[in-house]
Structures are given as structure tokens and as C-alpha cells.
Amino acid sequence: VNTYEIVRELGRGQHGKVKLARDLLTNEYVAIKIVSRIGRARLGRPLSAGSSQEEKVRREIAILKKCNHPNIVKLREVLDDAASSKIYLVLEYVERGEIQWHDSYDNPILNEEQSRSAFRDVVQGLEYLHFQGIIHRDIKPANLLVAHDGSIKISDFGVSYSAFNSELAKTAGTPAFFAPEICYNDPNQPPPPITYKIDIWALGVTLYCFFYGRVPFMAENEFELFNVIATEDVIIPKNEDGSLVADISPEGIDILIKLLQKNSDERPSIPEIKNHPW
């Protein structure tokens, strides 16, 4: 691809494949996200108006071009191949990949200090995004990459939006990390506004994953999951004797509960998170 030699596949997801490549001019490694312009119908339904694959990737590119922060993956260049209807996003390669937060038995593998360090980096990245008027909409461990120095970089802006975009009411992202206001389904009431506080909720779900090795809300299907997220309180795991399952400080539990408030107005702002004793 242009001056890049493909080495191997790093992963694939809803929005395209990601491949490791070597820049033949500089000998540096990069990650190339390959996205087809042509979106495919999902589950037999046509793509909705205004949601074409090309429009999504153009939006992702525009967002990445606005960003220059140590806790956000950098876009190096964009290659547009009209012949194959593919767009190539050349991104910085983050060596250690996705943050590892649970083992094969779903036990957490990060201690509290490691969780706090990763959490702080994500908060710094989110502060920058929100200042730029960007809502990420898919904060989760799988989108947090670990650099060679151990710092965290937020990745995958495939469903991100401007905070002022009316399209924001549509569901996008990963259901287990959806905020209650996205899951809200009362036909007799207007839906709550969707704001940057959905990222704060997802940050809370991510911290829960770090502490306990699993998401806080689970169900058999998406409909049940939405209902559970919207109505059920978060449970802090305890042993039979009432002691906490994980060795987490009271301050850590406190910030977790604050992040996972059902009412978005009661969730802390980024400055409030940064000023929290934890």
C-alpha cells in the first residue's frame, strides 16, 4: 500500500480491518485501518440514511485530524484508493495493543494502582476530546491501547460525533457500555438528552472492568440488557462475610459509584473526576 509494506493483521471489527505495516521510507511501524466505502446491510436491514460507510469514515478522519494529544492515537495520513473503493487510515502503531484487564477465567489482572494509572490517562484523553467538542461514544477496554512506556491511548473513533450533532440520539457503540439515557425506552416521556456524560458512564463501566474483570450489567439479550442498565443499581461484588471481593480502597469504590449514576446530571464532570481524592 503506497510506501507501506503489510506485515500482519492486528485485528478486525465492525468498522474495518487493522493491519500492521512498515513504512519503507522511515522503517517505522504503523497501524493501517482499512475501511470499505461501501457499507453492507446489517441483519438484513439497509443502512439508514446519513449513515453510509464513507460518511462514517470521513467523520472519523475529520475527528482524528482535530486531535493532537499524548493519550489519543494519532492519524499520520489518509490514502484513498478509488479503484478498490477502500480508504486507508495510517495510524501510529501502539506497541502493546489493547489493555489486558482480565484472564481466561474473567478474573481481574490489574491491581488498584495499575487501574488508577490507566484511568488517569483515559480521563486526560477524554478531557481533551470533550474540549474539542467530541463525544467518543465507545470508551471501553478494547479501545484503550498501551504504548511502550505504559501510557494509555484512546483509539477507534468510528462512532464518535460532535457534541452538537443531532444524530447523537441514535444508538452506536457497544451495548454493555451504553449509558441509561441511551437505553431509555418510555414512549410516554421524551428521551433524556444525549451528552458527553455518556462517555463518563462508559468510563465508569471501564473502571468496573478493571476492578472486577467483567462488566457490571449482563443479560441474555440486548433488549434485557437495556432494561437492566436503565433500571438496576450497580452491584459492588462482596464475599459472603460482607467484605469486598477485590482489594479496592473506599475512594476507588466512591469514584466508581459516582461515575455509574443513572441520572446523567449526577455524574461528575471531568474536572470533578480530576479533583476526586482517588
pLDDT in tens, 198-214: 999 999 999 999 999 99
| pLDDT of res. 164 | 63
Specify which of 31-40, 141-150, 188-197 reaches the highest per-range mean pLDDT. 141-150
Asked if residue 168 has pLDDT above 60, the reply is no
- Using one digit for the tens of pLDDT, what is the confidence trace for 249-267? 999 999 999 999 999 999 9
Across the strands, what pairs with 20? 8, 31
Q: Give yes or no: residues 156 and 258 share one domain.
A: yes
Coil/strand/helix, residue 74: coil
Cβ-based neighbours of 250, under 8 Å, separated by 6 or more: none
How big is the chain, counted in residues? 278
Residues classed as catalytic: 138
**R_g (Cα) of the chain, nearest Å:** 19
Q: Which domain holds residue 227?
A: 112-274
Q: Give yes or no: residues 166 and 230 share one domain.
A: yes
Cell numbers that stand for 92 in this block: 501510529
- Using one digit for the tens of pLDDT, what is the confidence trace for 213-252? 999 999 999 999 999 999 999 999 988 888 888 889 999 9
Asked if residue 170 has pLDDT above 70, the reply is no
Q: Are strands 86-92 and 161-162 parallel, antiparallel or unpaired?
A: unpaired
Conformation bin of residue 31: beta by default, left when phi > 0, alpha when psi is -120 to 50: beta
Number of domains in the chain: 2
**Annotated binding residue at 33?**
yes
Q: Give yes or no: residues 206 and 75 share one domain.
A: no
- Give 164's Cβ-side CA count (13 Å radius): 3
Among 77, 68, 60, 62, which Cα is nearest to 21's?
77
Asked if residue 44 has pLDDT above 60, the reply is no
Backbone angles phi, psi at 24, to 5 degrees: -70, -20
Asked if residue 37 has pLDDT above 80, the reply is no
CATH number of the domain within which 33 lies:
3.30.200.20
- Using one digit for the tens of pLDDT, what is the confidence trace for 112-131? 999 999 999 999 999 999 99
Give the domain-ending residue among 61, 92, 123: 92
Rounded CA-CA distance 128/67 in Å is: 8
Report the run of H or E that residue 86 belongs to, with start and end. strand 86-92
Q: Give yes or no: residues 231 and 146 share one domain.
A: yes
The pLDDT-based confidence of 186 (bands split at 50, 70, 90) is confident
Q: Give the global pTM.
A: 0.89
Q: Give yes or no: residues 69 and 153 share one domain.
A: no
Q: Give yes or no: residues 125 and 174 share one domain.
A: yes
- Are 127 and 174 in contact by the 8 Å Cβ rule? The answer is no
Side chain identity at residue 135, one-letter code: I
Q: Give yes or no: residues 151 and 75 share one domain.
A: no
Quickly count: other Cβ atoms within 10 Å of residue 36's Cβ.
16
- Are 87 and 78 in contact by the 8 Å Cβ rule? The answer is yes
